[in-house]
Each structure stands twice: as C-alpha cells, then as structure tokens.
C-alpha cells in the first residue's frame, strides 16, 4: 500500500497524499500581570479560547434555584405527615393497649392486659396483611429498601396511594405492639410526598430523585430533631450521588422540617430537642477510646447478626409459599411479637422511652441482655413476615443494650455513655452510613464529649460490617429483587481526562477525489487502517469536510467510478481536544456512535484526530493502574557514621591542645544511628559538610 504519514500522524492513502499541519492544541496563554493573584499559584497555562475555562468543581447550574421552593414545600409536608404518623401510632397504642382515645405517644409495656395482650399483635398483622393484599403490596417491609427501589428502578416515581397506605399500615403495625421504628415508614412516606410533588411538575428523573430524598430527610428530621444526620442519611444512603444538586435540596428540606418542629416544640406540641438528653461527663480519652474500638468491633459483629436474623426469618416465611398466602404471614409474625412481649414488654413498640432509659444507664445487665435477645427475635421475625415497620429505632435499642452490657466491664465512662457509643456503632454497622451514625447519636443527645469515641466506634463497626457482610440489611432486599446497588462513590475518570490525552492521531484519512475502489484496495486485510472503520475526508488544507464509514467503502468497492466526495456523509457530531471525556461519552451514547472526529475549536475545521469508545476506556485504565499497581516508593537504609580524626588548629597564643581534646563541643554520633531515606535505588547517604573553623 502506497501510504505516507504526516508529521502529525495522519495518513493519506495513494500517491496524492496531502501533508497537512495540525493546529497546536495549546495556544500561548495571555501574559499574567505582575503582582496579580495569578502569581501566587503560577501562570495560567490554559489557552485563551478553550472550553477548559468553563470547567468547574461542580456541574450544578442555576436551574437548581427553581427547585428550592419545592424543597421547602416538601420539607413542610414531610414534617407534617411524619408528626401525624407519630400521632397515629400513639392513637392506636392507646386504643388497643389502654382502651382510651389519645394521640400521646406511649409505650405498650405498662399495659395490664396480661396474656390477652398476645392477640393484639396478631390482629395488627391481620390488618396489615389485608391492606397489603387489597391495597398495595409496597407497604410491606421497613420502608428504606422500598424507597431505594423507587429511586433505582422507577425513575423516583411513587404511587400517590402509597403516601396514604404506608403511614396507616405502619401506625397499625407499631400501635399494636410491633417492635419497629417509625422512621422507615416516615422516610418512605416523606419520599412519596417529595416524589408526588416532583411528578406534578416538568422535571427529570434526577430532579425527582432529589425531591424524593428531600422528603425522606424531612421526615427523619421532624421525628428525631436531627437535621444534619437526616441530610447525611439522604446523601450517604438514598441519593446515590454526592452532588450539590441533591445535597442542597436535601439540606433545605431537612432544615425546614426541623425549624417547623422547633416551632411546635415551643408551643408544647412535641418534645423539645434533644429527645434523649443525657447527663454531662468529662471528655473520653485514654483507655476509654480503646474501649470505644472494642464496642465498635462488637457493633459490627452485631450488625452481621441482625442482618442474618432478618433474612433467615424471611427465608423461612418464603418456604410457606404455595402452602399459605403471604397475606397471612404477618399474623404469624404478630404471634412471635406477642409471645416476646409477654417475656419482655419493653421490647414492644417504638421503644423511645426504653432507649432513653438505656442511655441514662438505668437498666441492669440482665435486663439489657434479655431486652437484646427478645428484641432481636421479635423484630427480625416480624420483619421477615412482611409486616410494615422501620429498623432504625430497634437497631438503636439493641446497639444501646450491647454497649450498656459492655459498659459494665469497660473503664473510663458510665454504662449510659457506653450505651450511646454502642448505639452509634450498631447504626453505623447495620446501615453502613458511619457519618450518619456519628452525627445522629450526637444530635439525639447533644453529648459533644463523646464525639471522638463515637467516631472510633462507628468507624470500627463500619469496617467490620463491610468485611463480613456483602450486603447491608437495606441493600440485600434490593439485591434479592435482581438489582445491584453500589455504595462506593468516586470521581469518574472520564470527568478528569481530556480528549487530547487519549485521542488517536495516527489515523488514515482520504481525499474527496479518490474512488471507493481505490480506498478499498489501499486498506489491506488485517491492517490497522482496515480496523479504523471510520475515515475522515479532508480537503487540500487539511480541513474536515466529511467522514467515510467502512460500510460505505465495502458497499461501493465494485463501483470503479464512484468517488469519495459523493459517498461521504457529514459528521453527525465532532469532539474537541480540550473537552473532557464525559462530554464525549454522553454525546456518543445519545447519538449511538462509537467514534467521533476531533477538530480544533478555532472554527477552521482542522482535523486533530479520532476518539473512539475504546479510547474512553483508557481513562478507566489509568484508575485501575492506581488501584492495582503496588510499589515501594521510599526505602530506608542504615548508614554508619564516618569516623574522622580531629586536628586542632594552630593556636596563635602558643597554647597546645591534644588531638583527643578539641577546643569545641563535638557531638558524637553513634554508629547505625543515622537513617537515610532513598527514593528509588539512589541512597541519600551523604552527610552535610562540616566547617572545621566553625566553633560554637
């Protein structure tokens, strides 16, 4: 094949090759004014005209501002519905256990019904099963996985009836003694409100997702008075991204809900914050921090136990399929709950008063152990049966019980403080959201002197949990439905790589005057040119005037008269050297293309190269190399100190000094005491020169 390559790597087949000169990618930048701010960080080396100057740390646009009023509205609605759910729980608890009409939130453990109380959870399970069967099956479960599924699968859309059926079914389930928390149903209900509001407007799925999570965070913030933890929970667990477009709306909704809650607390309508006040104590240090690590490890193992218990019960109930309709399963779960309530009544209901008693250190070791065991069995059995209820409050209770038990043997703090640390460890281990666990425990108690211990415990629990569990209790249900959830977030390498770094410059181009038969003959079988599959068509000045797909060459190879200029097509899209690969990948995906010509941005149409879908993988390859290639950058070597004989200088006064008694202080460096660091294979084993005339 008669072919020559230009200096820029472009090839033109045939004898009529045209040598073109590629425009430089980087133009000379404007000079930096002396004394300007740029001088502090060096000159700006970006070209004057380039899309690089439009790039920023984030991609959020001013369009987010029109969603801010919606986030505030969602925060108000989420807070109102969440507080109404607590009132409904209080209403059903008072009705079934105390035969009175009141919305005051109370615990079932003070009832005087005796053994007859066993039928209350069974009746609650029957009602929930009927609501799920004839209302919406989506009310089953503890809420958070269902919210995640709405986000991942259904474009963040939620059926409006779910916003009504979920809180009612959860209120009945918890009000009849269910050992569940209200936060899971509140999160799903608040998310449903946010989704419904988003569906009323012309929004994208990503924008609806932000509003859905904002509603969920608003509900959690209103119930617990923890706006920061609610925001972190939404970002860490539900948003599936860490971007301002979602975090800002989530934070605004959570703050709005908490502001509304504080106003209601001032009017004595809800409990003031913090909802679990604890006595002050000295900052934890020393051995107490080692104890926090031990509690964290225990919390991580407890997270494994809780997760396994829930899904082992669920597997047991699944074996009833074909023998008993799932509508009746919550009745069986209710029987388990009722029996457990006869053994330890404090395990029934949301248990906020029991959690507070644990944090105050008012329960004995025997009571804590019994509470942990009974709560674990009835909670996992109830959830496994498919009833409606949340997981956060039970996890808090069991984690506090674990920490309280360990607190009777660990030094440095009271059992109540250890219960707080255990609560944070359990939440961090089960949800795999350590920052949420730390701030959540702090906002619930305002115990700032325990922050360092909370950090250690939640971190260790998170570490153990991710090592012993492939899925959390939240993501396992989504995974069982055939969807993969990834909880790790990193900067996309396509966002940090420019086209010019990966584009192909050694390419084969053709002239418009050549025939298709000549082009086909020039492309030998198995050659790199044949594998190129798309051939830029250039004029005499090296400007791109069209592209020639291989399929066109193949179809017209028998026509000896058809020329390239007649068969070429206009480029559907082009790329520029100063673009990031993310923009190019989006363009390729949107147009269904696998290769784009790269032209300069000056408007001359000068071809700089080609970028293919395989070039996009090079950005990922760099990341893989950073993650997989291990190397030792610094090496340590022991260097012996050199021994030198000291010669005294001439004394003008005539006095003499012996050679072993120098007239100045000499620091004797022992052998093997000097350690030099070397980078690569070059040892930094030389000492700085010593001036013999320098006398201190």
Return the minimum-mean-pLDDT range out of 103-117, 518-532, 673-687.
Answer: 673-687
Angular region, 213: left φ>0, alpha ψ -120 to 50, beta rest: alpha
| Higher local confidence (pLDDT), 221 or 164 | 221
How many C-beta neighbours within 10 Å does residue 683 have? 14
Higher pLDDT, 32 or 429: 429
pLDDT, tens only, 132-185: 999 888 788 777 777 777 777 777 777 788 878 888 998 999 999 999 988 878
Instruction: State how far the Cα of 363 lies from the Cα of 356, in Å rounded to an integer.
Output: 10
Which among 64, 453, 400, 469 has a CA at the least distance from the CA of 284?
453
Averaged pLDDT for residues 336-350? 94
* Among 3-17, 101-115, 581-595, the least confident range: 3-17
Q: Are 597 and 566 in contact (CB under 8 A)?
A: no
Q: How many residues does the chain have?
A: 696
Cα distances (Å, whole numbers) of residue 195 to 6, 42, 136, 163: 57, 48, 17, 10
Omega before 404 within 30 of 0, i.e. cis: no
pLDDT-derived band at 436, boundaries 50, 70, 90: very high
What was the pLDDT predicted at 641?
A: 56
Average pLDDT for 211-239: 91
Average pLDDT, the chain: 83
By CB neighbour count within 10 A (0-12 exposed, 13-18 middle, 19+ buried), where does 548 fall?
A: buried
Most confident of 137-141, 219-223, 341-345, 687-691: 341-345
Give the model's pLDDT for residue 694: 40
Read off the pLDDT of residues 613-630 as tens digits, 9 standing for 90 and up.
888 988 888 888 888 888
Please check the confidence at residue 611 and state whether its pLDDT lies above 50.
Answer: yes
Mean pLDDT, residues 358-379 taken together? 95
- Residue 572: pLDDT band (50, 70, 90) is confident
β pairing state of 10-13 and 507-509: parallel
Give 101's pLDDT tier (boundaries 50, 70, 90). Answer: very high
- Report whether pLDDT(328) > 60: yes
CA distance 435 to 427: 10
Task: Show me where the domains of the chain are located.
Answer: 62-266, 287-480, 497-623, 632-645+666-696
Per-residue pLDDT at 432 exceeds 80: yes
Q: For residue 482, give the H/E element and its range.
A: none
pLDDT over 90 (residue 528): no
Q: Give the model's pLDDT for residue 127.
A: 94
Q: What is the pLDDT of residues 24-52, one digit of tens each?
A: 334 434 444 444 444 455 677 777 767 77
- pLDDT, residue 634, reads 84
**Residue 289 binned pLDDT confidence (cut-offs 50, 70, 90):** very high
Q: Which is the CATH superfamily of the domain at 287-480?
A: Clc chloride channel (1.10.3080.10)
User: At residue 206, does pLDDT exceed 60?
Assistant: yes
pLDDT grade for 650, boundaries at 50, 70 and 90: low
Q: Are strands 3-5 and 674-679 parallel, antiparallel or unpaired?
A: unpaired
Residues 6+ apart with CB under 8 A from 685: 637, 639, 676, 678
Domain 62-266 and domain 287-480 have a common topology = yes
Q: Are strands 595-599 and 534-538 parallel, antiparallel or unpaired?
A: unpaired
Instruction: State residue 630's pLDDT score.
Output: 84
5 has a pLDDT exceeding 50: no
pLDDT at 408: 92
- What is the spatial distance between Cα 285 and Cα 496, in angstroms, rounded to a whole number? 42
State the pLDDT at residue 654: 47
pLDDT at 17: 36
Among 66-80, 145-159, 510-524, 665-679, name the one with the lowest average pLDDT: 665-679
Residue 4 has a CB neighbour count (10 Å cut-off) of: 13
Judged on CB neighbours under 10 Å (0-12, 13-18, 19+), 569 is exposed
Closest CA to 695 of 654, 651, 655: 651
Q: Quick one: average pLDDT of 534-558?
A: 88
Task: Please give the C-alpha separations between residue 161 and each of 132, 166, 173, 178, 388, in angstroms, as whole numbers.
Answer: 12, 8, 18, 23, 15
Q: Give yes or no for residue 242 having a pLDDT over 90.
A: no
pLDDT of residue 627: 81
Architecture of domain 62-266 in this structure: Orthogonal Bundle (1.10)
Please give the backbone phi and psi of residue 635, each rounded to the nearest 5 degrees, phi first.
-125, 145
CB 296 within 8 A of CB 456: yes
The predicted structure's pLDDT at residue 270:
87
- Pairwise pLDDT comparison (247 vs 156), residue with the higher score: 247
CATH number given to 497-623: 3.10.580.10
What per-residue confidence (pLDDT) applies to 6? Answer: 37
């Amino acid at each position: 094949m008669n072919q020559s390559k230009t200096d820029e790597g472009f090839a033109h087949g045939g004898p009529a090759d045209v040598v073109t000169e590629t425009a430089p990618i980087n133009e000379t930048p404007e000079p930096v004014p002396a004394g300007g701010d740029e001088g502090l960080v060096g000159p700006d080396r970006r070209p004057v005209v380039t899309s690089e100057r439009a790039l920023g740390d984030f991609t959020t646009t001013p369009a987010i501002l029109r969603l801010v009023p919606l986030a505030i509205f969602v925060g108000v609605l989420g807070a109102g519905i969440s507080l109404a759910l607590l009132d409904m729980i209080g209403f059903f608890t008072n009705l079934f256990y105390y035969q009175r009409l009141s919305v005051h939130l109370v615990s079932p453990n003070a009832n005087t019904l005796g053994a007859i109380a066993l039928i209350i959870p069974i009746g609650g399970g029957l009602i929930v099963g009927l609501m799920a069967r004839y209302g919406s099956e989506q009310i089953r479960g503890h809420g958070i996985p269902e919210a995640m599924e709405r986000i991942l699968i259904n474009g963040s859309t939620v059926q409006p009836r779910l916003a009504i059926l979920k809180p009612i079914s959860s209120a009945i389930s918890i009000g009849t003694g269910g050992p569940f928390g209200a936060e899971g149903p509140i999160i799903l209900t608040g998310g449903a409100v946010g989704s419904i509001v988003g569906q009323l407007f012309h929004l994208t799925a990503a924008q609806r997702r932000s509003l859905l999570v904002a509603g969920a965070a608003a509900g959690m913030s209103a119930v617990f008075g923890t706006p920061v933890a609610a925001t972190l929970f939404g970002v860490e667990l539900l948003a599936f991204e860490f971007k301002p477009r979602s975090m800002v709306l989530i934070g605004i909704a959570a703050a709005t809900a908490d502001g509304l809650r504080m106003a209601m607390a001032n009017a004595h309508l809800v409990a003031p914050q913090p909802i679990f006040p604890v006595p002050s104590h000295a900052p934890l240090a020393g051995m107490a921090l080692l104890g926090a690590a031990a509690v964290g490890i225990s919390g991580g193992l407890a997270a494994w136990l809780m997760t396994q218990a829930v899904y082992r019960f669920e597997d047991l109930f699944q074996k009833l399929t074909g023998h008993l309709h799932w509508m009746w399963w919550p009745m069986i779960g209710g029987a388990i709950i009722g029996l457990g309530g006869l053994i330890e009544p404090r395990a029934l209901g949301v248990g906020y008063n029991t959690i507070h008693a644990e944090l105050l250190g008012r329960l004995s070791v025997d009571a804590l152990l019994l509470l942990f065991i009974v709560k674990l069995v009835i909670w996992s059995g109830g959830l496994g049966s498919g009833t409606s209820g949340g997981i956060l409050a039970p996890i808090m209770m069991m984690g506090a019980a674990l920490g309280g038990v360990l607190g009777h043997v660990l030094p440095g703090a009271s059992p109540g403080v250890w219960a707080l640390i255990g609560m944070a460890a359990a939440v961090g281990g089960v949800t795999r959201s350590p920052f949420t666990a730390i701030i959540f425990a702090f906002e619930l108690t305002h115990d700032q002197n325990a922050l360092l211990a909370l950090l250690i415990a939640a971190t260790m629990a998170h570490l153990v949990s991710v090592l012993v569990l492939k899925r959390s209790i939240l993501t396992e249900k989504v995974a069982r439905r055939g969807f993969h959830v990834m909880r790790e977030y990193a900067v996309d390498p396509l966002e940090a790589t420019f086209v010019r770094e990966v584009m192909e410059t050694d390419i084969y181009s053709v002239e418009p005057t050549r025939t298709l038969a000549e082009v086909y003959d020039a492309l030998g079988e198995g050659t790199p040119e044949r594998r190129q599959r798309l051939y830029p068509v250039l004029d005499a000045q090296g400007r791109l005037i069209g592209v020639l797909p291989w399929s066109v060459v193949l179809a017209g190879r028998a026509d000896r008269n058809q020329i390239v200029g007649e068969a070429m097509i206009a480029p559907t899209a082009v790329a520029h050297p100063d673009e990031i690969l993310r923009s190019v990948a989006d363009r390729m995906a949107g147009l269904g293309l696998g290769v784009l010509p790269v032209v300069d941005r000056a408007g001359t149409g000068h071809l700089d190269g080609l970028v293919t879908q395989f070039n996009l993988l090079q950005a990922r390859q760099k990341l893989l190399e950073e993650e997989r290639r291990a190397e030792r950058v610094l090496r340590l070597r022991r260097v012996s100190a050199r021994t030198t004989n000291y010669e005294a200088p001439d004394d003008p006064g005539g006095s003499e000094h012996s050679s072993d008694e120098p007239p100045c202080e000499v620091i004797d460096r022992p052998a093997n005491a000097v350690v030099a660091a070397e980078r690569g294979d070059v040892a930094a084993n030389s000492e700085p020169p010593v001036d013999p005339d320098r006398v201190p």
